[in-house]
Amino acid sequence: MILRLFLLCLALGAAGPAAAGQSDLLSPQQAFRMSAQLARKDEVVVRYDIAPGYYLYRDKLKFVAEPAAVVLGAPRTPKPGVHEDEFFGRVEIYRGALVIRVPVKVPAGTERFTLIVRSQGCADAGVCYTPQQQQVVLGPTPGAAEAGSSGSLVDSLGGAAPDKR
Amino acid sequence: MKRSTRIFLFIAVALVALVAGLALHPLSRDPVAVTPPGLLDTPLESMDGGKQPLGTWKGKVLVVNFWATWCAPCRKEIPEFIRMQERLGPQGLQFVGIAIDEKDKVAPYLREVGVNYPVLVGELDAVELSRSLGNELGALPFTVVVDRTGKVVHSVLGATSEAQLEPVLRALY
């Protein structure tokens, strides 16, 4: 009886931690879900919904607009959390919900523009993702948009993004 | 046996078994080892500006490590790789780093920690090579072991260690 219990629990334990598996690591698009909205005619609001166990580096967030005639101001980021890193020391990071306000000047007559957001993050499980690029097409009138296309370094380098590092 | 003792024994056995089960579970994180065609022929940029394919080191037991200076878990394992290269290099072991990074960030880091094996750098090409080796998420660090014939026999996503690699390597010398 005790042997049977032992074997059952052994099997349960062995089946359990598939959570550490690659198949259970989220793709960067799932881990760092992004959407953006033209909240006012001169302000874009970017929202990140960061999955539990994942974080984004503050200093790796980069915003670019296309066409270049659309001018972005300095992004207003919230107070970051601090990650004590064995190698980098105190690193500023974001977890959970993140809202960034980016001032924008859209020239008259611009039908729509593309906001390109570059980010880089890691999982607490001990892996980091290559820099990600997500894009949202925004119209001249305030409204929301989900990240229209997203991708890793592969896509960003293949595309016409001005911010190639 | 008293009833309370029996219950205690049951719980103790269950806990021990559960922990043992957790410990025995293979790390399913690691992608299945695949050998993409042309693995040894893909040219990547070397630190001195030339192009070098992994085939440069064919005939040795290769440990190819994809990493970046901005990746903390990558920095954790590199000192172990340096020690292993020093100790096992004479037996035919060759580490090769592939940095998905900028050269001007990689160079000072290599000097700082004293990396004693070749490092190639890449962006798109290196990410693609890593994906073709089974790293679907494009995450770092990612390490593969290639035998003397050029076949990938082991791959690890996330930091690895001397203790984890040594049994795999021992079979290949």
Residue boundaries of the structural domains of chain B: 29-170
Predicted local distance difference test score (pLDDT) of residue A64:
96
Q: In chain B, positions 144-163, which contact chain A (CB-CB < 8 Å)?
A: 157-159
- Amino acid identity, residue B8? F
Cβ-based neighbour number of residue B100 at 10 Å: 27
Q: Does the pLDDT value for residue A160 go beyond 70?
A: no
ipTM of the complex: 0.76
Nearest Cα of chain A lies from the Cα of B103 at a distance, in angstroms, of 12
Predicted local distance difference test score (pLDDT) of residue A74:
97
| Tens of each residue's pLDDT in chain B, 173 residues | 667 777 777 777 666 665 554 444 434 467 888 899 889 999 999 999 899 999 999 999 999 999 999 999 999 999 999 999 999 999 999 999 999 999 999 999 999 999 999 999 998 889 999 999 999 998 999 999 999 999 999 999 999 999 999 999 999 98
The radius of gyration computed from the CA coordinates of chain A, to the nearest angstrom, equals 20
Taken in order of first residue, the domains within chain A and their CATH numbers are 26-158 (2.60.40.1250)
The pTM score is: 0.74
| Average pLDDT value for residue range A14-33 | 68
pLDDT, tens digit, 9 for 90 and up, residues A124-148: 999 999 989 999 999 867 666 666 5
Predicted local distance difference test score (pLDDT) of residue B173:
80
Judge contact between B125 and B44, C-beta under 8 A: yes
Predicted local distance difference test score (pLDDT) of residue A162:
33
Closest CA to B120 of B103, B134, B143, B136: B103
**pLDDT band at A84; cut points 50, 70, 90:** confident
Cβ-based neighbour number of residue A50 at 10 Å: 20
Judge contact between A117 and A134, C-beta under 8 A: yes
Predicted local distance difference test score (pLDDT) of residue A144:
63
Predicted local distance difference test score (pLDDT) of residue A158:
29
3-state helix, strand, coil in chain B (%, to 5): 45, 25, 35
CB under 8 Å to B159, separation ≥6 — which residues? A126, B73, B74, B76, B77, B141
Q: Which whole-number Å values give the CA distances from A25 to A98, A107, A120, B29, in the listed order?
A: 21, 42, 16, 8
* Torsion angle defined by CA atoms of residues B131, B112, A82 and B161, in that order, rounded to the nearest 10 degrees: 50
Predicted local distance difference test score (pLDDT) of residue A148:
55
Mark yes or no for CB contact B72/A128 under 8 Å: yes
| Average pLDDT value for residue range A44-57 | 96
Mark yes or no for CB contact B72/A87 under 8 Å: yes
The structure tokens listed for A111 are 């039908």
- As assigned by CATH, the class of the B29-170 domain is alpha beta
Q: In chain B, positions 57-96, which contact chain A (CB-CB < 8 Å)?
A: 68, 70-76
